[in-house]
Structure formats: structure tokens, C-alpha cells
Amino acid sequence: MKAAPAEQLRLLEFQALDTRLDQLAHARASLPELATLTTLGQDSAALDRELALARTAQRDVQREVTKAEMDVQQVRDRAERNQKRLDVGTGTAKDLQALQHELISLARRQGELEDIELEVMERAEELDSQVAALDSRRSALDAEIADVTARRDEAFARFDAERETVLASRGEVAPQIGEALMTLYAKVRESSGGIGAAELKQRRCGGCRLELNSLDLSSIRSAAADDVVRCEECRRILIRTAESGL
């Protein structure tokens, strides 16, 4: 068999390095942590909205509590003043009777306002509990995001380190391949799913995995060692080796 020249064997090595770069890029882009972070980011945004609404409601109800407390206190203060005037007994009998009636009305009003105050305070407590629970979820979610981010970054570092190693090897191999062959390889690789050159092994193309027919094999056998032969099916560059089965 006419062995392929060193240049073509180097091209096969170069293809393997390109394939590894493609694999690393795909693995980097397909990390499960990336999908997890996307989901966690959506959860985080939804939780932020929920927290914002809860805190707004918490502030609103706190204002209601303050107003309810002031309303109750105003009635208490008025009732206290009236009671003091009644205890002193100054004024006409009609005035004292009016004070007595007003005290009864104020007591009733105070009871109503205290009921309102109690209801508002109960809502405030519920909202406080809700905000506390959401804050707890926020802390837990932040911790999970930090953990997944750290795992992603560790994986990225591994991929990037290997990529630099592969690129260095690629840079060493590239000068050993002629410009014309490299240009053809790049063109075929671009149009053939990332595989521009493949080994012819046991009469089978390493690119499309199809076995070559006898006519194509005969043509390859008769080709000069430095001829660039290509698969008639997928048009990839075929590299002949001792295992080509020619």
C-alpha cells in the first residue's frame, strides 16, 4: 500500500484536535449547571417580585396599624378628659349628663376601634410571617445559586484549561501541514459538520462510516502517495494508513 505522506497524517492529528475542541465547546455549553442556573434565575426573579409585593403590603398595613393605634388613643384621651371633668363635678347637671352620655359613646367607639386595631395587627403579624418566610427562601435560594455557580465555574476552568492545552498542540501541528491542504480541510470541515478529514480504516470512511465500493478502492490504490483522496459519498479527505485495508 502507498502510505500517506506525513503531511496527511498530521492532518488527521489536526482533525482529532479540532474534534476535541468541538467536544469541549459542546460540553461547556451543555453543562447541566447552566440550565439549573437559568431555572434558578427565573425562580429568583419570581421570588423578588413576591417579596416586593409582600413588603409593600407590610408597609401599608403598618401604616394602618399606626392609624388604628392613633384613633384608639384619641378616643382614650378624650374619654380620660371627660372622666376627669365628670369626677370634678363642675358644670351644670345638664353638662354632667351630657358628659356621661358621651363617655358611654366613647366607650362604644373605643371598643369598635380596638376591634379594628386588633384585626389590622393580626394582618400585620401574618404579613410579617410571610415576609420572614420569603426572606428565608431568599437566603436559601441565594445559597443554592452560589453553590451551582461555583460548580459551573469549576467545570468552566477544567474545560478552559484543557482547551488551552489542545490549542497549544494544534499550534504545533498546524505548521507541519501545507497551506493548500489546510485550506481544503477548512472548506470541507465547514461544510461537513466539523469533520474535514477522516481515516480510511478497513475500507470504511471514518467520516460517513460507509464502506467504499471496489471501484473507489481501486482508484485510491492507484493514487500516488501524496495525492489527496476523498470519499465519494461525503467528500471528506481520506487519510490512508496501514489499517485502510487496501
State pLDDT tens for residues 151-167.
999 999 999 999 999 99
Average pLDDT over residues 218-231: 90
Cα 38 to the center of its chain, rounded Å: 2
Instruction: Spell out the alpha helix ranges (H) of 89-200.
Output: 93-173, 179-191
Q: Residue 30's pLDDT band (boundaries 50, 70, 90)?
A: very high
Residue for cell digits 480510511? 200
Domain ranges across the chain: 6-25+178-240, 31-173
> Taking all residues of the chain, what is their mean pLDDT, rounded to a whole number?
93
User: How are beta strands 204-205 and 237-240 bridged, if at all?
Assistant: unpaired
Helices (H) and strands (E) in the chain — how many of each?
A: 5, 4
- Grid coordinates given for 105: 359613646
DSSP code of residue 227: S
Q: What is the phi/psi pair of residue 82, to 5°?
A: -65, -40
Residue 162: count of CB within 10 angstroms of its CB: 15
Determine the residue type at 226.
Answer: D
Per-residue pLDDT, 91: 75
Beta carbons of 75 and 109 less than 8 angstroms apart: yes
Average pLDDT over residues 209-227: 90
Residue 69: count of CB within 10 angstroms of its CB: 15
Q: Which residue has the higher pLDDT, 246 or 158?
A: 158
Question: Which of 1.10.287.1700, 1.10.10.10, 1.10.260.40, 3.40.50.300 would CATH assign to domain 31-173?
Answer: 1.10.287.1700
- Give per-residue pLDDT as tens, 183-217: 999 999 999 999 999 999 999 999 999 999 999 89
Taking the C-alpha atoms of residue 179 and residue 16, their distance in angstroms, rounded to an integer, is 18
